[in-house]
Structure 1
Amino acid sequence: MNIFKNFKDYHSEKPLAMSLGMFDGVHLGHKYIINELKKIGCEKNLETAILTFWPHPRFVFNPNEDLKLLNTIDEKEVLMEKYNINTLFVKEFDNEFRNLTGEEFVREILIEKLNVKYLIIGYDHSFGKNKSGNFELLQKLSSELNFEVEQMEAINIHESNISSTKIRNALLKGNIKEANEMLGYSYSISGTVVHGKKLGRTIGYPTANIETESIKLLPKKGAYIVEVFVKNKHYKGMLSVGTNPTVNGEKLTVEVYILDFEGDIYDENIMVKFRDFLHDEIKFEGLDKLIERLDEDKRLTEEFQF
C-alpha cells in the first residue's frame, strides 16, 4: 500500500475508485465500504484508494474538546494495510483545506488532482466548509465531471448502526465485548513501558506501566483481561486503568500484570488487546483485600479462553 501525506507527491494518471472519511477504528462498517470499493475497483479496472484526514477535523473546529480516538494515525495505517488498498491518502486538515466548499473539494481535489472515477461514501458522510458536500451534491456533479458515486447503507449489529461514536461509548462503559464486536477485532492500546511506583512487586504482582498517546481513548476505569504482546511473544495479562485509590494515587495510569512472564521491559514498546472486563476500579480497605481481589482476577484471567 502506498501512503501519501501530500497530494503534491502524487503523480499517477491512473483513475481511482475511492472512499473518504475519518475511518476512526476501521470498524466493520468501514470494512463493508472497503470491500465494496475493492469489488468496484476489480470490476471497472480502477486502482483503489482511501482518503482520510489528520488531525481529526473536530480537533480543528473545537480545539478545547476532549476528544479521544480509537486509532492513532500509525494504527490506522496498519489496519488499512490489511485490506490491500492500493493507496492511502492522509491529508492534513489545515485551515486552507477546511475552507474548501464541498464543490471545490470535489472539483479541485477529487477530480483534478486525484482523477477519481468512482466514489463511495458512508450513509451519513458530509464534507467541505459548513458541511456543504453530501451525496446530493455528488450526484449533481457526477454527470458533469464524469464520475460515479455510491452511498453505502449503515451496517447493523443487534439492530443498531455501527459507528465510531458508539464504539467509543461502549469502551467508556467497559463494554469490551460489545466494542470488539462492532470493531471486528480486539481493541488495543500500545506504548512504552515506563517506571512507576513499583508497589506491585512488593505484593507479588509486578506491573508494567504503559505510557500511551494522549489522543488514544482509554476504556473506563477498572480491571480487564488482556492479551499482551511484548518482544514478539504474547501472554495473558490483567490490566488496570485507574488512579490506584487504595494507596491514595491521583495520576491516571495504565498498568498490566503479565502472567508467566519475567524480565526487564523498561523502555520496550508493548501492545495489549482488551478481551473482557473484570470489574470497576475499587478502593480496598487495605493491601490484604487488594491482594485477595488480584488473586481472584488472576484465576479468572487464567481460565479465560483467548
Structure 2
Amino acid sequence: MKIIQNFTDYHEKTPLALSIGMFDGVHLGHQSIIRKLNAISEKKNLESAVLTFWPHPRTIFNPNDDLKLLNTLDEKTYLLQKNGIRHLFLKEFDEAFRNLNGEEFVRQILVKKLNVKHLIVGYDHTFGKNKSGDFSLLRKMSDECGFKVEQVEAVDFHEKHISSTQIRNALAVGNVKEANEMLGYIYSVSGKVIDGKKIGRTIGYPTANISSDPLKLLPKKGAYIVEVFVKNRKYKGMLSIGTNPTVNGNSLSTEVYILDFNEDIYGEEISVNFRDFLHEEIKFENIEKLIERLDEDKKLTDNFIF
C-alpha cells in the first residue's frame, strides 16, 4: 500500500476509486465500504484509495477534548492494507483544509488533485466547512465533474448502526465481546514492557507493565482475560487496568500476568487481545483476599476457550 501524506508529493493522475472518513476501528461498517470500493476498483480498473485524517479533526475543533481512538495510526494503516486498500492519503486537518466548503473540496481535492472517478461514502457522511457537503451535493456534482458516487448503507448490530462511537461505548463499560463483534476482529493494545512497582512478583503473580500509546483507548478499569503475544508466541493472560487500590496505588497502569511464562521481557514490545471481562477493579481488605481472587481469575483464564 502506498501512503501519501498531505498530498505534498502526490502528482500522479492514476484514476481512483476512493472513500473518505476517519475509519477509526476499521469496523464491520467500514469493511462493508471497503468491499464495495475494492469491487468497483476491480470492475472499472481503478486503484482503490482511502482519504483519512491524522490527527483526528476533533482534536483541532475541541483541543480540550480528551479523545481516545480505537486504532493507532500504525494499526489503522495495517487494517486498511489488510483489507486491500492500495493508496492511503493521510491529510492533516489544517486551517486551509478545514476552510474548504463542500463544493471546493470536491473540485480542488477530489477532482483536480486526486482524479477520483468513483466515490463511495458511508450512510451519514458529511464534509466541508460547516458540514456543507453531503451525498446530495456529491450526486449533484458528479456528472459535471466526471465521477460516479455511491452511498453504502449502515451495518447493524443489535438494531443499532455500527459506529466507532458504539464500539467506544462498549469498551467503556468493559463489554469487549460486543466490541469485538462490531469490529469483526479482536480488540488489542500494544506497547513496550516497562518497570513497575514489582508488587506482583512478591505474591506469586509477576506482571508485565505495558506502556501503550496515550491516544489509544483502554477499556474500562477492571480485570480481563486476554491473549498475549510475546516474541511471536501466544500465551493466555489475565490483565488488569487500574490503579492497584489494594496497595494504595494512585496512577493508572495496564499490567498483564502471563500464564506458564517466566522470562525477562523488559523493553520488549508485546500486544494483548481482549477476550472477556472478569470483574470490576476491586479494593480488597488485604493481600490475602487479593491472592484468593487472583487464583480464581487464573482458573477462569486457564479454562477459557480461545
What band does the TM-score fall into relative to the shorter chain? over 0.9
Map 1:52-67 onto structure 2 (within 5 A).
52-67=52-67
CA–CA distance in structure 1, aligned partners of residues 73 and 132 of structure 2:
26
1:285 aligns with 2:285: yes
Amino acid in structure 2 at the alignment position of 1:284:
F
1:173 aligns with 2:163: no
Amino acid in structure 2 at the alignment position of 1:254:
T
Please state how far the C-alpha of 1:267 moved relative to its aligned partner: 1.0
Q: Could you say which residue in structure 1 is the equivalent of 2:149?
A: 149
**How large is the RMSD of aligned CA atoms in angstroms?**
0.8
Q: 1:181-205 deviations in whole A, cap 9, x for unaligned?
A: 0000110111111101000000000
Q: 1:83-119 deviations in whole A, cap 9, x for unaligned?
A: 1211111111112211111111111111001000100
Q: SS of 2:30's equivalent?
A: helix
Q: Could you say which residue in structure 2 is the equivalent of 1:265?
A: 265
Q: SS of 2:182's equivalent?
A: helix
1:239 aligns with 2:239: yes
Q: SS of 1:171's equivalent?
A: helix
Q: Could you say which residue in structure 2 is the equivalent of 1:93?
A: 93
CA–CA distance in structure 1, aligned partners of residues 74 and 100 of structure 2:
27
Q: Could you say which residue in structure 1 is the equivalent of 2:200?
A: 200
Q: 1:209-258 deviations in whole A, cap 9, x for unaligned?
A: 01111111110000000011111111110000000000111000000001
Q: 1:57-81 deviations in whole A, cap 9, x for unaligned?
A: 0000000011111001111001111
Q: Could you say which residue in structure 1 is the equivalent of 2:24?
A: 24
CA–CA distance in structure 1, aligned partners of residues 83 and 214 of structure 2:
27
Please state how far the C-alpha of 1:17 moved relative to its aligned partner: 0.5
Unmatched tracts of structure 1, length 5 or more: none
Q: SS of 2:8's equivalent?
A: helix
Please state how far the C-alpha of 1:8 moved relative to its aligned partner: 2.4
CA–CA distance in structure 2, aligned partners of residues 98 and 264 of structure 1:
48
Amino acid in structure 2 at the alignment position of 1:86:
R
CA–CA distance in structure 2, aligned partners of residues 199 and 122 of structure 1:
49
Amino acid in structure 1 at the alignment position of 2:8:
K
Q: SS of 2:52's equivalent?
A: strand
- The alignment of Structure 1 onto Structure 2 pairs a total of residues equal to 306
Q: SS of 1:192's equivalent?
A: strand
1:73 aligns with 2:80: no
Q: SS of 1:22's equivalent?
A: coil
Q: Which runs of 4+ in 1 moved over 6 A?
A: none
Q: Could you say which residue in structure 2 is the equivalent of 1:140?
A: 140
Q: SS of 1:220's equivalent?
A: coil
Please state how far the C-alpha of 1:158 moved relative to its aligned partner: 2.0
Q: Could you say which residue in structure 1 is the equivalent of 2:301?
A: 301
Q: SS of 2:273's equivalent?
A: strand
CA–CA distance in structure 2, aligned partners of residues 111 and 240 of structure 1:
49
CA–CA distance in structure 2, aligned partners of residues 75 and 20 of structure 1:
18
CA–CA distance in structure 1, aligned partners of residues 228 and 106 of structure 2:
44
Amino acid in structure 1 at the alignment position of 2:10:
Y
Q: SS of 1:8's equivalent?
A: coil
Unmatched tracts of structure 2, length 5 or more: none
CA–CA distance in structure 2, aligned partners of residues 6 and 123 of structure 1:
26
CA–CA distance in structure 2, aligned partners of residues 102 and 42 of structure 1:
28
CA–CA distance in structure 1, aligned partners of residues 251 and 79 of structure 2:
31
CA–CA distance in structure 1, aligned partners of residues 154 and 110 of structure 2:
24
